[in-house]
């Protein structure tokens, strides 16, 4: 056997090998950074630059003052409110569903059916989702008419809550709950049955198990997933645009109005300032999410 | 991680990249029609028609087929000149139209925009004077031809007479017979039609073109009574019976009669609000000759009468009536105007808009 015939030896003998490897590693992440750069950083930079251009063309922070206007502030609060409510309700309902599924047979029909359904519904949104709800529950919808014929008016007093913020929150739950199932189930899967057995062999009951073992393990993941759901609802646009056709009462619709108004209220700079404010909110939420995910992954491996 | 955001953002940026990659310039024979300010200056109508046919295409935007008879106008132009028309975003706003001027070959060649948008974007338009330029009243056009009114009408309240009692005044709508029935045909915080509905309500309630607050108060009252329906009324919502009472332009309201035979239009004698839309040519029109030929077609007797058939009042109506070229049947079918119309100026519209934007959501939610 000669030294030249052994690849391992040849490689070890090549003095350039050590220097070349980091270069190649760097090449490997180029597509990722190019993707992030073009689709995330570049639009953010465009929004940032545009938000600093005042209506008269000068560079100033005046666009940001508009956020304090009462009607705009109300929209901000509305956006946060529907995102928070739909995230909390979605997280609790989704977590319960995920727990039910995860504690069942891993290869069972229930789990496979729920996971496939969740995968589909978590991506169902926009105009089609709004249409589905209106066709079902609006005053001309089939379910509404059926219920009314059987003595149940879901709009007592004629207040059609489906087309205001309450309806929007309900419709958001349609994709929030499945998303929660998808993102929370890995955490539940990470809980080992042996830990419960260990708790019991040490004299603990179910309360002790949840309070001191499973609860603390799942809580960071639960909170993290709730934040993810918040960001998901906060940044949703098409569903709301199709549902709330009058008086944009949440931020994404205010931005739309500022960009498409045909009555002399077009303010692209102000729209970009609002978009930047939304980016900041999502950035804060997602940073917290990352911190919590890190805590979770330390335990659940 | 955040799939929805990545996904949507990615799509949007990809779309922008694709659109800009498709950019190209087109040439128009020996005459550069993008510089011509009238057909005669470019060698006459025949030369214009030939150049437009050579381009073979025209891109229009935000023209719903049921709006002022645009469906028939588009097919009429196609049939007459054999030029293919691409109709973008039929339900877009006037602002969407000029926002689509992106310098690519897919940009709209011509636009039909509200007064505010026309005034704010003259730098993006090419001056052009149609052959019938003299018939357009002086106040209805920019003197060099950057924009020119095309058709207009009055704000009315359309209603389904089988569902609600006959309307005799705007205040009637506060009555209990109108519970959950009254809607606007646009979001007044951004739509020209929606805003003019609020202006009409204001004038009918003691306000004026300079004071839209009474209109916002009126819709607040409607909301408190439970009469206001917070959706944008369209032909579909009228047919479905969701918006049996609708504030809208009389010529658009007239088109609902096809689907709902009991549809009627009320124009309040104490608040006749008129409004005209305007034509303009994109300065960087990808099909400059076809764009100019389209304007010639719209302002010909044929084009004007097509608008009239759609219930809109074409800008050459007075001249055509004296010349005897007007479609007398269509003219007679227009709703009568029971008084002197008021037309908000661009400035008044902007002020009203600013007030409505700041106060609307609070008033009706």
The pLDDT tens digits of the residues spanning A66-76 come to 888 888 899 99
- The separation between CA B190 and the C-alpha centre of its own chain, rounded to angstroms, equals 13
CA distance B111 to chain A (A): 13
CA distance B320 to chain A (A): 30
Tell me if residue B226 falls in helix, strand or coil. coil
Q: What are the Cα distances from residue B357, in Å, to B189, B205, B352, B365?
A: 5, 20, 9, 13
Residue A101 backbone dihedrals phi, psi, to 5 degrees: -70, -45
Q: What are the Cα distances from residue B338, in Å, to B126, B142, B317, B330?
A: 38, 29, 18, 19
Give the integer Cα–Cα distance in Å for B142 and B121: 12
The pLDDT tens digits of the residues spanning B209-246 come to 999 999 999 999 999 998 998 889 998 889 988 899 99
| Chain A with chain B: Cβ pairs closer than 8 A | 141
Beta strand extents in B164-322 (DSSP E only): 182-184, 228-232, 245-249, 263-266, 274-282, 313-314
So what's the pLDDT on residue A8?
Answer: 43
Q: In whole numbers, what is the pLDDT of chain A averaged over residues?
A: 86
- Asked if residues B294 and B55 have their Cβ atoms less than 8 Å apart, the reply is no
Beta strand extents in B51-162 (DSSP E only): 57-61, 84-88, 110-113, 125-126, 148-160
Of B2, B179, B365, the CB nearest to A228: B2
Hey, what are A285's tokens? 């939420």
Of B230, B232, B353, the CB nearest to A264: B353
Region A127-143: mean pLDDT is: 90
Of B12, B190, B362, the CB nearest to A263: B190
On the question of pLDDT at B273 being above 70, the answer is yes
Of A40, A74, A245, the CB nearest to B9: A40
Of all residues in chain B, the one with the smallest CA distance to A124 is B4
Interface test mutation site (partner A, options B7, B98, B189, B228, max chain A beta carbons within 10 A): B189
- The separation between CA B84 and the C-alpha centre of its own chain, rounded to angstroms, equals 22
Query: B4 vs A138: CB contact, 8 Å cut-off?
Result: no
Give the integer Cα–Cα distance in Å for B364 and B229: 9
pTM: 0.79
Interface test mutation site (partner A, options B1, B2, B12, B357, max chain A beta carbons within 10 A): B357
Give the integer Cα–Cα distance in Å for B234 and A102: 47
On the question of pLDDT at A173 being above 90, the answer is yes
CA distance B10 to chain A (A): 6
Sign, Cα dihedral of A5, A8, A14, A19 = positive
Interface test mutation site (partner B, options A137, A145, A264, max chain B beta carbons within 10 A): A264
**Which residues in chain A have Cβ-Cβ distances shorter than 8 Å to B116?**
262-264
The pLDDT tens digits of the residues spanning B172-197 come to 999 999 998 999 999 998 899 999 99
Query: What does the angle CA A34 – CA A37 – CA A41 come to, to the nearest 5 degrees?
Result: 170
On the question of pLDDT at A24 being above 80, the answer is no
Q: What are the Cα distances from residue A180, in Å, to A87, A92, A117, A126?
A: 9, 9, 12, 19
β-bridge pairing B182-184 and B263-266:
unpaired
Of all residues in chain B, the one with the smallest CA distance to A40 is B9
CA atoms within 13 A on the CB side of B6: 7
So what's the pLDDT on residue A59?
Answer: 87
So what's the pLDDT on residue B1?
Answer: 40
CA distance A253 to chain B (A): 11
**B124 vs A10: which has the higher pLDDT:** B124
Sign, Cα dihedral of A235, A236, A241, A243 = negative
Q: What percent of chain A has pLDDT over 70?
A: 91
Query: A123 vs B3: CB contact, 8 Å cut-off?
Result: yes
So what's the pLDDT on residue A5?
Answer: 41
On the question of pLDDT at B131 being above 50, the answer is yes
Give the integer Cα–Cα distance in Å for B163 and B182: 12
In this prediction, residue B26 has a pLDDT band, given cuts at 50, 70 and 90, of very low
CA distance A279 to chain B (A): 11
On the question of pLDDT at B4 being above 80, the answer is no
Query: B114 vs A262: CB contact, 8 Å cut-off?
Result: yes
Of B114, B120, B241, the CB nearest to A140: B241
- Asked if residues B23 and B251 have their Cβ atoms less than 8 Å apart, the reply is no
DSSP assignment letter at B325: -
R_g of chain B, CA atoms, integer Å: 21
- Asked if residues B202 and B212 have their Cβ atoms less than 8 Å apart, the reply is yes
Query: B242 vs A43: CB contact, 8 Å cut-off?
Result: no
**Which residues in chain B have Cβ-Cβ distances shorter than 8 Å to A265?**
189-190, 350, 353-354, 357
Give the integer Cα–Cα distance in Å for B345 and A26: 61
């Amino acid at each position: 056997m000669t030294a030249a015939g052994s690849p391992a030896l040849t490689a070890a003998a090549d003095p350039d090998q050590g220097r070349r490897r980091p270069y190649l590693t760097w090449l490997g992440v180029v597509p990722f950074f190019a993707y992030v750069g073009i689709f995330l950083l570049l639009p953010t930079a465009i929004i940032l630059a545009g938000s600093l251009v005042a209506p008269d063309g000068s560079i100033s922070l005046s666009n940001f003052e508009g956020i304090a206007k009462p009607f705009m502030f109300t929209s901000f609060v509305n956006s946060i409110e529907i995102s928070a409510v739909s995230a909390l309700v979605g997280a609790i309902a989704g977590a319960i569903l995920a727990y039910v599924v995860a504690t069942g047979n891993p290869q069972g029909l229930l789990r496979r059916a729920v996971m496939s359904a969740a995968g589909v519904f978590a991506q169902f949104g926009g105009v089609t989702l709004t249409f589905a709800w209106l066709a079902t529950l609006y005053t001309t919808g089939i379910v509404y008419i059926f219920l009314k014929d059987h003595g149940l008016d879901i709009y007592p007093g004629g207040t059609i809550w489906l087309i205001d913020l309450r309806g929007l929150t309900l419709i958001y739950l349609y994709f929030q709950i499945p998303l929660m199932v998808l993102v929370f189930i890995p955490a539940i899967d990470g809980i080992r049955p042996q830990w419960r057995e260990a708790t019991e062999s040490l004299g603990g009951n179910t309360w002790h198990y949840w309070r001191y073992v499973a609860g603390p393990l799942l809580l960071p993941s639960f909170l993290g997933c709730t934040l993810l759901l918040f960001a998901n609802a906060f940044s949703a646009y098409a569903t709301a645009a199709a549902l709330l056709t009058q008086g944009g009462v949440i931020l994404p619709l205010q931005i739309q109005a500022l960009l498409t108004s045909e009555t002399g209220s077009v303010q692209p700079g102000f729209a970009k300032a609002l978009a930047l404010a939304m980016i900041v909110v999502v950035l804060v939420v997602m940073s917290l999410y990352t911190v919590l995910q890190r805590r979770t992954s330390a335990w659940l491996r | 991680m955040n799939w929805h955001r990545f996904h949507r953002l990615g799509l949007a940026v990809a779309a922008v990249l694709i659109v800009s990659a498709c950019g190209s310039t087109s040439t128009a024979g020996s005459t550069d029609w993008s510089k011509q300010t009238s057909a005669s200056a470019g060698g006459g109508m025949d030369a214009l028609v030939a150049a437009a046919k050579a381009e073979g295409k025209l891109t229009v935007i935000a023209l719903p087929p049921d709006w002022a008879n645009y469906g028939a106008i588009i097919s009429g132009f196609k049939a007459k000149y054999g030029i293919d028309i691409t109709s973008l975003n039929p339900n877009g706003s006037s602002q969407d139209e000029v926002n689509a001027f992106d310098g690519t070959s897919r940009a709209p060649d011509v636009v039909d925009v509200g007064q505010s948008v026309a005034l704010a974007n003259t730098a993006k338009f090419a001056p052009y004077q149609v052959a019938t330029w003299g018939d357009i009243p002086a106040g209805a056009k920019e003197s060099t031809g950057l924009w020119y009114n095309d058709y207009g009408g009055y704000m009315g309240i359309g209603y389904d007479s089988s569902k609600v009692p006959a309307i005799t005044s705007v205040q009637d709508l506060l009555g209990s017979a109108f519970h959950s029935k009254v809607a606007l045909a646009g979001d007044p915080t951004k739509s020209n039609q929606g805003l003019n509905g609020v202006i009409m309500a204001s004038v009918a309630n003691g306000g004026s073109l300079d004071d839209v607050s009474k209109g916002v108060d009126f819709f607040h009252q409607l909301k408190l009574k439970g009469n206001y329906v917070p959706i944008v009324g369209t032909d579909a919502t009228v047919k479905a019976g969701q918006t049996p009472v609708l504030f809208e332009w009389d010529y658009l309201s007239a088109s609902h009669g096809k689907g709902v035979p009991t549809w009627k239009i009320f124009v309040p004698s104490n608040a006749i609000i008129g409004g005209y839309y305007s034509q303009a040519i994109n300065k960087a029109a990808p099909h400059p000759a076809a764009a100019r030929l389209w304007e010639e077609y719209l302002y010909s007797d044929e084009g004007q009468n097509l608008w009239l058939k759609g219930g809109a009042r074409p800008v050459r109506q007075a001249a055509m009536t004296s010349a005897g070229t007007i479609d007398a049947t269509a003219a007679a079918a227009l709703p009568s105007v029971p008084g002197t119309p008021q037309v908000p100026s661009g400035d008044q519209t902007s002020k009203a808009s600013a007030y409505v934007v700041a106060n609307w959501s609070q008033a009706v939610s």
